[in-house]
Structure 1
Amino acid sequence: MTETIDAGRPAGPGRPACPDCGATLTGGGVHVAWCSGCGWNTDPGADAEEEPRGRIERVRRRLARRYGEQLFADLTAGGDDGATAPTGRGRSGRLAGCLALAVHGLTVALLAAGLAMILVGTGLVPVLGAIPVLLAVVLRPRFGSLRKAAADLPVLRRPDAPELFGLLDEVASTVGTTGVEAVVVDTAVNASVRTYGVRQRRVLTVGLGLWETLSPQERIALLGHEFGHYAHGDTRHGLVVATAFQSLDTWAYTLAPQESTSLLDDLMNLATALPRAAVDGVAGLLDHLTLRGSQRAEYLADEAAARAAGSEAAAALMDRLLCAGTLTGMLRREAVAARTRRGGDRSGDAAEGLWRRLAAQAAAVPATEYERLRRVGELRGHSVDSTHPPTHLRHRLLTARAAHEPRIALDAERAARVDAELGGARRTLARQLLNG
């Protein structure tokens, strides 16, 4: 767990003091110098924080913070971890399902109307019937594919990495669900499990920017969290609702106002104003119906992570997520340095040690910096994205509850075998990142 900061320690020779209260400043050097007593300079980048783009995304952020705080209060007051409770079967979940079906029903209605116009219409009617048919094709539910999900990224199957897939199966079984068909590896400071294809097969995407900075137990916590979404029935991960969000996003993109350069643009924007408002309204309502359940699913997924890896590892994972921006910056600096280095091509050498250097830099982040970032989270309502509760509340809930002992212990020998199976992907992605 994180260390307690001694806010009252007096400043000594060579130790900078807080200009507001006189206490010794915490941090400094490559980290922000701040006062843990009065909070001076805790969030020096507050003025530069960018507002989320788009009205809907701003509303999502506000709702995420509000629901996250409400659920935190409910979960801490009730003392019930809700470990086996589904998140998508309440009234809001059912209403969201009905609304999602209505969105898909509109697509079916467009297709039916267009085909009827083509088959039985006369004159220009069959030609005009092509318009609703094309709209229906554009708005159709998309089930995704592994090829598109992976793009040019390394993909591992069971024969390629039996130790890794054995670990994934064990974690999935521990939290109450099944494993994945494939593992895609990228450089992001993130990880996710999602489905693809009509049969909704699962694929795990592992971002080495996060994975390489985690201890073995923190990796178990990460996997436990991702599989936990499927163990608790997160509404937004369901096929009907997820594809409805995709269709609404497509509508919003199609109806987006054009830059006004002529009278025709103005007329088109005026003609699409009402349907655009309707799409925004439906998307907002679907968000409202699913967001609270999605927030609860995140807390339950964190609980699943704690049961699989232990509460200490799950809480440490939250700290790593607070540092996601810092870790992304580290990778960017490595890439820039490799591309501007003079005196011969050393990109191969740089690639060999990239992940080791990233892990070393992440390990050097002191406990006091994590404490500052949690306080920044309290001020800003930081979350991973608009569907997640504030990260500092997730950390606080994990540390406030009775501690879980790990059900899965990833020892050094097994962790090394898993790392060996990721070795090829690690080298490939390092070279891609550094060579541009």
Structure 2
Amino acid sequence: MTETIDAGRPADADRPACRDCGAALVGGGLHVAWCADCGWNTDPGADAEEEPRGRIERVRRRLARRYGEQLFADLTATGGAGGHSARSGRGRSARLAGCLALAVHGLTVALLAAGLAMVVAGRGLVPLLGAVPILLAVVLRPRFGSLRKATADRPVLRRPDAPELFGLLDEVAATVGTTGVEAVVVDTDVNASVRTYGVRQRRVLTVGLGLWEVLAPQERIALLGHEFGHYAHGDTRHGLVVSTAFQSLDTWSYTLAPQESASLLDDLMNLATALPRAAVDGVAGLLDHLTLRGSQRAEYLADEAAARAGGSEAAATLMDRLLCAGTLDGVLRREAVAARTRRGGDRSGDPAEGLWRRLAAQAAAVPATEYERLRRVAELRGHSVDSTHPPTHLRRRLLTAGTPHEPRIVLDPERAARVDAEFAAARRTLARRLLNG
């Protein structure tokens, strides 16, 4: 049952009182009991929140929050993301990022050229030593990915398999100003993404059933609109040159990471790699700084694309679902444990058959008070999906500010059922795989 927050009401016999202000607590049961008036117990897990691993990632998170807040203020003052040019992220910082990314790739080319020169023109041991820079160049080379590696052992849908789904994807992509995808990969994650692969940069959509199955039809349209919106608005980090430069820098960081000091040799190696490690960290930090603000803006613009495609209301409720990602992950883990131990829930039949239905029921049972609490927690913590996203509560607030968008695509029940039917085989396969381990 949906519950509304009535701030300022006194405690009654049915609800315990807040220990700080005496008002009636909201929530409880499967959800946190907290006070909507004074905020007591809003974030009981604050002390247990884990810091991001690594100095660079911690800096990224701080910058993400700062830039997200700055952009929110700018976009609010100018009438929302729709008031900005779709090319607003391609400014001076984006050009500098492109130059820096080319320099990173230039180092890889230089290593390859130096190694080949040593092999061809060197004498004695020099040709053998030339294998070292060649090997480094091979390790650091730009990787364009492949559909085979992207899919791994996950179900893949193609146009002949799912004409209704691909028709919908093409319609959403056209609505936000881009093109569709070559394939759809299905997994169990509480997430969705579009990525490119191959030299020709073909697109593949990954749909996580942990998220897809709990969304209403219009929320699904908003989700697709957001993912395609990244390509419509030219997100710098999604570009081939910059994205592969980040991959190369991550490889450098992994290669140069300090070893555990177990011997004098380890200490000498850590000392020898200290300077190049600092250089790599510095270049990575600079590239991050040059692209992060543009990436934040691209997220807001992608949210605006979601609102245009599915409607502002659906795009805003999608943000609430993202705040519940941890809860949904927990439901799937408990289902897996229950299936493997044969305890809990209704196990009269095949538990895989009803997995996604049970997940959707759990999501539908989340009361309005819990969503409000999660929004307040997001504001307290500066929650974002990762370091490239603005704070989620600001994304939702921007979607609900100003004149709302009416949906350009309405997914009626009949069409939604046809799309669902095309996921049926993947849904069964992944449910059994998840529950059987």
TM-score range, shorter chain: over 0.9
1:252–1:276 CA contact under 8 A, matched in 2 = yes
TM-score in terms of structure 1 length = 0.98
Secondary structure of residue in 1 paired with 2:207: strand
Gap change, CA 1:305 and 1:3, over 3 Å in 2: farther
Gap change, CA 1:342 and 1:308, over 3 Å in 2: closer
CA distance in 1: counterparts of 2:89 and 2:42, whole angstroms: 38
Q: Who is 1:278 aligned against?
A: 279
Q: Who is 2:424 aligned against?
A: 423
Identity fraction in percent: 89
Q: Who is 2:66 aligned against?
A: 66
Q: Which 5+ residue runs of structure 1 have no aligned equivalent?
A: none
CA distance in 1: counterparts of 2:198 and 2:225, whole angstroms: 23
Q: How is 1:322-361 mapped onto 2 (pairs within 5 angstroms)? A: 322-341=323-342, 349-361=350-362
CA distance in 2: counterparts of 1:405 and 1:341, whole angstroms: 47
Shift of 1:323: 0.3
Q: Who is 2:75 aligned against?
A: 75
CA distance in 2: counterparts of 1:385 and 1:392, whole angstroms: 14
Q: Who is 2:434 aligned against?
A: 433
CA distance in 2: counterparts of 1:217 and 1:381, whole angstroms: 27
AA at the equivalent of 1:429: L
Gap change, CA 1:227 and 1:431, over 3 Å in 2: same
Q: How is 1:66-105 mapped onto 2 (pairs within 5 angstroms)? A: 66-80=66-80, 81-82=82-83, 84-105=85-106
Q: Who is 1:234 aligned against?
A: 235
Does structure 1 residue 138 correspond to structure 2 residue 131?
no
Q: Deviations over 1:223-267 (max 9, x none)?
A: 000000000000000000000000000000000001111100000
Q: How is 1:236-251 mapped onto 2 (pairs within 5 angstroms)? A: 236-251=237-252
1:83–1:303 CA contact under 8 A, matched in 2 = no
2:90–2:294 CA contact under 8 A, matched in 1 = no
CA distance in 2: counterparts of 1:4 and 1:375, whole angstroms: 15
Secondary structure of residue in 2 paired with 1:178: coil
Q: Who is 1:312 aligned against?
A: 313
Does structure 1 residue 12 correspond to structure 2 residue 21?
no
Shift of 1:349: 1.3
AA at the equivalent of 2:236: T
Secondary structure of residue in 2 paired with 1:251: helix
Q: Who is 2:373 aligned against?
A: 372
Q: Who is 2:180 aligned against?
A: 179
CA distance in 2: counterparts of 1:264 and 1:13, whole angstroms: 70
CA distance in 1: counterparts of 2:84 and 2:349, whole angstroms: 47
CA distance in 1: counterparts of 2:362 and 2:394, whole angstroms: 25
CA distance in 1: counterparts of 2:92 and 2:349, whole angstroms: 56
Q: Who is 1:21 aligned against?
A: 21
CA distance in 2: counterparts of 1:82 and 1:199, whole angstroms: 32
CA distance in 1: counterparts of 2:83 and 2:109, whole angstroms: 38
CA distance in 1: counterparts of 2:169 and 2:144, whole angstroms: 23
CA distance in 2: counterparts of 1:389 and 1:211, whole angstroms: 22
Shift of 1:54: 0.3
Aligned residue pairs: how many? 434
Does structure 1 residue 293 correspond to structure 2 residue 294?
yes
Q: How is 1:121-136 mapped onto 2 (pairs within 5 angstroms)? A: 121-136=122-137
Shift of 1:347: 9.4
Secondary structure of residue in 1 paired with 2:377: helix
Q: Who is 2:209 aligned against?
A: 208
384-393 vs 77-86, which moves further? 77-86
1:310–1:406 CA contact under 8 A, matched in 2 = yes
Q: Which 5+ residue runs of structure 2 have no aligned equivalent?
A: none
Gap change, CA 1:347 and 1:249, over 3 Å in 2: farther
Gap change, CA 1:108 and 1:77, over 3 Å in 2: same
AA at the equivalent of 1:194: R
AA at the equivalent of 1:252: S
Q: Who is 2:31 aligned against?
A: 31
Shift of 1:5: 2.0
Q: Who is 2:52 aligned against?
A: 52
Gap change, CA 1:21 and 1:342, over 3 Å in 2: closer
Q: Who is 1:255 aligned against?
A: 256
2:296–2:390 CA contact under 8 A, matched in 1 = yes
CA distance in 2: counterparts of 1:87 and 1:429, whole angstroms: 40
Q: Who is 2:412 aligned against?
A: 411
AA at the equivalent of 2:221: I
Secondary structure of residue in 2 paired with 1:193: strand
CA distance in 1: counterparts of 2:83 and 2:224, whole angstroms: 19
AA at the equivalent of 1:42: T
AA at the equivalent of 1:40: W
CA distance in 2: counterparts of 1:118 and 1:162, whole angstroms: 53
Gap change, CA 1:362 and 1:282, over 3 Å in 2: same
Q: Who is 1:43 aligned against?
A: 43
1:338–1:347 CA contact under 8 A, matched in 2 = no
TM-score in terms of structure 2 length = 0.98
Q: Deviations over 1:251-292 (max 9, x none)?
A: 000000011111000000000000000000000000000000
AA at the equivalent of 1:131: V
Shift of 1:78: 1.4
CA distance in 1: counterparts of 2:320 and 2:285, whole angstroms: 31
AA at the equivalent of 1:37: D
Shift of 1:85: 1.8
Shift of 1:84: 4.4
Q: Deviations over 1:170-196 (max 9, x none)?
A: 000000000000000000000000000
Runs of 4+ in 1 over 3 A off after TM superposition: 345-348
2:10–2:22 CA contact under 8 A, matched in 1 = yes
Secondary structure of residue in 1 paired with 2:48: coil
CA distance in 2: counterparts of 1:217 and 1:164, whole angstroms: 14
Q: Deviations over 1:125-183 (max 9, x none)?
A: 11111100000000000000111111000000000000000000000000000000000
2:158–2:184 CA contact under 8 A, matched in 1 = yes
